[in-house]
Chain A
Amino acid sequence: MEGILDKLRSDRLVDGISLDNIPSDNDIQINNGKNHKLPGNASSRLENGDRNIRPSVMCLALQFSPTGHEFAVATTQGLQIFCLDDELLFIPVDLAVEVTPQTIELEISRRNFTKALLMSTQLGDKETLRSSIEAIKLENIELVVSSIGDVKVIKILLQFIAEELVSLYYFN
C-alpha cells in the first residue's frame, strides 16, 4: 500500500528512481502475469486498458451515522466504521475462565467486594457491574476504593458511574 510511511525508503531508490516502478518477478507472480484492468471496466467492452500499480491509502467518502455514535469512511481497503460506544467492543485480554456472573455472585456473598468488582469490570457486563457496586456496604467503600490500583479499572468504573449518574437512578 502506498502512502503509509512518513519517509521515503531510500534503500529502494536507485539513481533517483524507485525500484517499485520497475516490475519485478514477484509482482508478475502475484498478479498471475496479468495486470489489473482499469477501474470502471466491469464489462470489458468499454475499455481494454490495464495497469500495474499499487493502491495508495486514501479516504473517498465519509458520513456520520444519524445516531451520532459512529461514522463510516470509504477507504481503499473498504468500508471502515468508527464507533464511539465502548461497550459494544468486548476485549477479553485479561479474561480468565473462572470469571463468570455466578462466581461474582459467590464472591459478593462471601463479602469479597473488591474481588467481585474487579471481576465484573473484566466481564464488561453492565448488570453484573451494577450489582457488584451496589453490594458494597457503606462502611466498606473506602477500603474497596483504596485497594483498586489499576488505572484501567478506574477508567472503566468512572465511565460507568458517569453514565449511571446521568440516569439519576439514585436521586429519584
Chain B
Amino acid sequence: MDVKFSFDDKFFAITYGHGCQIWRTPSAIREFSPLTLVKTIVGHYDDVNCLGWSRDSQSVIIGSRDLTARVFYRAVHNNTALSILAGHRDEIIGVYFGKGDDEIYTVALDGGIFTWKFERTAVAMESSSDEDNELSDDESTSSDNEFISSTYSHRNNRTVQSSSLLQRHGGKWSLAERQLLRDHHGEISCTSFNSDSSILVLGFSDGVFGLYEMPGCVNIHRISVGNNALSAVTLNPTGEWLAVGSSILGQLLIWEWKSESYILKQQGHLYGLNVLDFSSEGQFVVTGGEDGKVKLWNTLSGFCIITFKDHLAPVTGVKFIGQGQGRAVITSSLDGTVRAYDLLRYKNFRTLTAPNSVQFTALAADHMGEVVCAGSMDPFSIFVWSLQTGKLLEVLAGHEGPISCLEFHTPTSMLASGSWDGTLKLWNVFGNQCVETFEHGCDVLSVAFRADGKEVACTTTSGNINIWDVENGEQLATIEGRRDLFGGRTNTDRISNENALKTKFFTSIAYSSDGSCILAGGKSKYVCIYSVSTAVLVKKFQLSHNRLVYQFSYQILVKTFSV
C-alpha cells in the first residue's frame, strides 16, 4: 500500500490491489463531493507495492510484486504503460524519479537498486549524442535477457499538450546502472527518497538503516537502532532529519544524520498496557505493560519521560505515592517483586519480595507510601510491607482464590481485596483482621473506594457493578452493565450474538473524585460512565474505530482450500 501527493499538490495517487488510482486533491474551500477520480491504472499482474511521482507531476511510476515497475502518464486517457521496467529478481518496494525526471531508481526487496535513464529515440531527437545510445545498447545486451524495456507510442495524441510529454513519447527508459547491496543485513523493509538532495534511505529488517547518495548508490551513513525490523523511514524535505519507525517495538526515532544525534526518541509498550495510575496533581501518568516495562508519561505533551525496565515479567500494578520531592512509583509484577522508584534520581530504591516465590497480581498502597500491599496468585495471600524499612509486616490469609484486585483507603486504613473465589473482603491492615466479607456468586475482578471511604464498588464476571456500604455491610445498588458493553464481534467468534453477550463484563472500575460517577471498562470497545445514585448509564465512549482489515489475495486463498 502506498499513497503519495504529486509535487504540485494538485493530485494524489493511491494503490489498491493490482492497480492504482489518481484523484484530484480537494481544495480548502468546502464543496459538494470534493474528491474526483482522474484516472485508474491497471496492468500489473500482482499487488502494487509502491508508487512515485515525477517532479513535473505528469507521470507516475508504479512498482509491484510481479517484479516490474511501470511508468504511466497522468494526462493520457488510455491505460497503457509507457515503459515496463523489468529486471529485478524480487518484488519492488520503492520507485522514485530522480531530480531532473530523467532518471528512475527502483529498489527491490533483495537489495537490488537499479538506475534507469531516459533516452530519446532518433526520431524525436534533434541534437542528442549518439554515443549515449550506443553505450546503453551495449549495456542492455550485456545485462542478460531479464532486462526488457519496451516502449509504446501513443497514436492518438488528442490529449497531449505538454512538450515534456511529447518528448517522452519519443524515447524509452533503459537500464543504466545495477547495484546489489551485498553487505547489507537482512532484507530491505522500507525505503524513502529525497529528490532535492538525491538521498535514498533504506531500512533493513534487522534494525539497520542506511543513507545512499544517488546515482551511484554511495553509502554515506549507516547505523543500527535495534534488532527489530524497521517499518517506515522518511527524510524531511531539507534532508537533515531522518524519522525511523518500528511497528514491532512501537518506536519512533528522529535522527539528525549529519551531527549523529537523536532529536526525538519515543517508544511505547511492546504488547500493550496492563495498568495505569495518575500522579496526585494529574500531570503525569505511570503505566505498566506486558513487556515488564514501567513508563512515566506527561499528560499534556504525551511524551514518555522515563522508562524503568527492571521487571522480568508483566507488570500487574502501578501506584504513585508521596507528594512534591518525595514522590515515588511502586510497581508489582508477576516476577515476584514489588519495586519502588523515586522520581528525583529515577532509581529503584527498594525491592520487596515475599518469603517464597509468588506471582503478584494486584497492588495497593497508601498515599504516603507507608504500607504497601500486594496480592498473590498462589498462595492466595496478601502481603503487607513497610516501605520505610522494607520489612514484611503481615501476611493476610483468608481468600480461597487468587487475588484479582486490591484497593487501599488511606484515611480509614481500610484495605479492600477482591478474589476469584467470589468474595470482596475488607481488612484492617494494622490489626491483621478481616472486617467484612461480601459474597458474590462469581469472580470479583476490580474494586474501587469512594473518596470518603463509605462506599466500595466492585465488578464481577456476571457483568454487574455492585456497590456496598462499608459501615453497615449492605448492598446499596447493582448496575447491570452487560447491555452497555454489548457490541463488537471478533472474526473468529464461534458463538451467537446472544451468547456473546454473556461473556461481557467489566475488568476495571474507578470512582470520580466527587463520588457521583463510576467509570468502568472491560473486554469491549466501550467504556461507560454511570451515575451512582440513579444507577443509570450517563455516557459511553467508543475506544477505537480501527478495523485494520487486511486485504487478501483471492487466488492464494483458493490455493489454500484446494490443498
A18–B487 CA distance with the chains assembled, in angstroms: 19
Given contacts A32-B205, A70-B299, A79-B287, contact A63 B544 (CB under 8 A): no
Are A79 and B273 in contact, CB atoms less than 8 angstroms apart? Answer: yes
Are B521 and A39 in contact, CB atoms less than 8 angstroms apart? Answer: no
Does A99 belong to the interface (CB within 8 Å)? Answer: no
Quick one: which of B279, B525, B547, B550 has the most chain A CB within 10 A? Answer: B525
Given contacts A4-B525, A40-B291, A66-B513, contact A60 B274 (CB under 8 A): yes
**Shortest CB–CB separation between residue B148 and chain A, in angstroms?**
26
Are B189 and A26 in contact, CB atoms less than 8 angstroms apart? Answer: no
Are A42 and B270 in contact, CB atoms less than 8 angstroms apart? Answer: yes
Stretch from A7-15, A110-118, A125-133, A143-151 forming part of the interface with B: A7-15
Stretch from A49-57, A101-109, A162-170 forming part of the interface with B: A49-57
Are B547 and A62 in contact, CB atoms less than 8 angstroms apart? Answer: no
Does A138 belong to the interface (CB within 8 Å)? Answer: no
**Shortest CB–CB separation between residue B265 and chain A, in angstroms?**
17
Give the residues in chain A near B550, CB-CB below 8 Å.
Answer: 24, 26-27, 30
- Report B32-53 CB contacts with A as 1/0, cut-off 8 Å: 0000000000000000000000
A6, A25, A39, A58: the one within 8 Å of B556 (CB): A25
A42–B307 CA distance with the chains assembled, in angstroms: 14
Give the residues in chain A near B309, CB-CB below 8 Å.
Answer: 42
Q: State how many residues of chain B have any CB contact under 8 Å with chain A.
A: 71
Are A1 and B553 in contact, CB atoms less than 8 angstroms apart? Answer: no
Are B272 and A55 in contact, CB atoms less than 8 angstroms apart? Answer: yes
In the complex formed, the residue of A with least CB distance to B493 is A8
A3, A18, A64: the one within 8 Å of B525 (CB): A3
Does A89 belong to the interface (CB within 8 Å)? Answer: no
Are A18 and B488 in contact, CB atoms less than 8 angstroms apart? Answer: no
**Shortest CB–CB separation between residue B109 and chain A, in angstroms?**
10
A56–B490 CA distance with the chains assembled, in angstroms: 7
Give B456-514 interface residues, CB cut-off 8 Å to A: 487-494, 507-514
**Shortest CB–CB separation between residue A81 and chain B, in angstroms?**
6
**Shortest CB–CB separation between residue A50 and chain B, in angstroms?**
12
**Shortest CB–CB separation between residue B300 and chain A, in angstroms?**
9
In the complex formed, the residue of A with least CB distance to B313 is A40
Give the residues in chain A near B225, CB-CB below 8 Å.
Answer: none
Are A77 and B522 in contact, CB atoms less than 8 angstroms apart? Answer: no
Give the residues in chain B near A24, CB-CB below 8 Å.
Answer: 550, 552-553, 556-557, 560
A4, A25, A30, A67: the one within 8 Å of B282 (CB): A67
A64–B550 CA distance with the chains assembled, in angstroms: 35
Does B453 belong to the interface (CB within 8 Å)? Answer: no
Does A161 belong to the interface (CB within 8 Å)? Answer: no
- Report B518-548 CB contacts with A as 1/0, cut-off 8 Å: 0111111101000000000000010111111
Are B510 and A4 in contact, CB atoms less than 8 angstroms apart? Answer: no
Are A70 and B189 in contact, CB atoms less than 8 angstroms apart? Answer: no
Are A76 and B272 in contact, CB atoms less than 8 angstroms apart? Answer: yes
Q: State how many residues of chain A have any CB contact under 8 Å with chain B.
A: 58
**Shortest CB–CB separation between residue B359 and chain A, in angstroms?**
11
Give the residues in chain A near B491, CB-CB below 8 Å.
Answer: 2, 8-9, 12, 18, 20, 54
Are B524 and A61 in contact, CB atoms less than 8 angstroms apart? Answer: no
Quick one: which of B312, B490, B545 has the most chain A CB within 10 A? Answer: B490
Are A7 and B489 in contact, CB atoms less than 8 angstroms apart? Answer: yes
Give the residues in chain B near A8, CB-CB below 8 Å.
Answer: 489, 491, 493
Are B556 and A64 in contact, CB atoms less than 8 angstroms apart? Answer: no
Does B262 belong to the interface (CB within 8 Å)? Answer: no
A16, A26, A40, A81: the one within 8 Å of B271 (CB): A40
Are A79 and B334 in contact, CB atoms less than 8 angstroms apart? Answer: no
Give B283-320 interface residues, CB cut-off 8 Å to A: 285, 287, 290-293, 297, 299, 309, 312-314
Give the residues in chain B near A43, CB-CB below 8 Å.
Answer: 312
**Shortest CB–CB separation between residue A24 and chain B, in angstroms?**
5
**Shortest CB–CB separation between residue B330 and chain A, in angstroms?**
15
Are B291 and A42 in contact, CB atoms less than 8 angstroms apart? Answer: yes
Does B343 belong to the interface (CB within 8 Å)? Answer: no
Are B229 and A71 in contact, CB atoms less than 8 angstroms apart? Answer: no
Does A73 belong to the interface (CB within 8 Å)? Answer: yes
B523, B527, B557: the one within 8 Å of A73 (CB): B527
Give the residues in chain A near B146, CB-CB below 8 Å.
Answer: none
- Report B153-192 CB contacts with A as 1/0, cut-off 8 Å: 0000000000000000000000000000000000101000
Give the residues in chain B near A78, CB-CB below 8 Å.
Answer: 268-269, 272-273
A86–B283 CA distance with the chains assembled, in angstroms: 18
Does B413 belong to the interface (CB within 8 Å)? Answer: no
Are B287 and A74 in contact, CB atoms less than 8 angstroms apart? Answer: yes
Are B511 and A64 in contact, CB atoms less than 8 angstroms apart? Answer: yes
Does B252 belong to the interface (CB within 8 Å)? Answer: no
Give the residues in chain B near A12, CB-CB below 8 Å.
Answer: 491
In the complex formed, the residue of B with least CB distance to A40 is B314
Does A65 belong to the interface (CB within 8 Å)? Answer: yes
Given contacts A4-B545, A59-B508, A61-B508, contact A18 B519 (CB under 8 A): no
**Shortest CB–CB separation between residue B304 and chain A, in angstroms?**
10
Are A61 and B552 in contact, CB atoms less than 8 angstroms apart? Answer: no
A66–B514 CA distance with the chains assembled, in angstroms: 10
Quick one: which of B189, B297, B488 has the most chain A CB within 10 A? Answer: B488
B189, B292, B507, B541: the one within 8 Å of A60 (CB): B507
Give the residues in chain A near B189, CB-CB below 8 Å.
Answer: 32
A39, A55, A68, A80: the one within 8 Å of B512 (CB): A68
Are B521 and A59 in contact, CB atoms less than 8 angstroms apart? Answer: yes
Does A21 belong to the interface (CB within 8 Å)? Answer: yes
Does B275 belong to the interface (CB within 8 Å)? Answer: yes
A19–B554 CA distance with the chains assembled, in angstroms: 11
- Report B356-367 CB contacts with A as 1/0, cut-off 8 Å: 000000000000
Further pairs besides A4-B525, A25-B553: 20, Cβ < 8 Å: A2-B492, A3-B489, A6-B489, A7-B489, A22-B560, A26-B551, A39-B291, A40-B313, A40-B314, A59-B523, A60-B274, A62-B276, A62-B510, A63-B510, A64-B510, A64-B519, A70-B282, A74-B276, A78-B272, A81-B299
6 pairs, A vs B, C-beta closer than 8 Å? A30-B550, A42-B293, A62-B508, A66-B513, A68-B512, A75-B272
Across the A-B interface, the 8 shortest Cβ-Cβ residue pairs: A59-B521, A74-B273, A3-B488, A39-B290, A39-B271, A2-B490, A65-B282, A67-B282
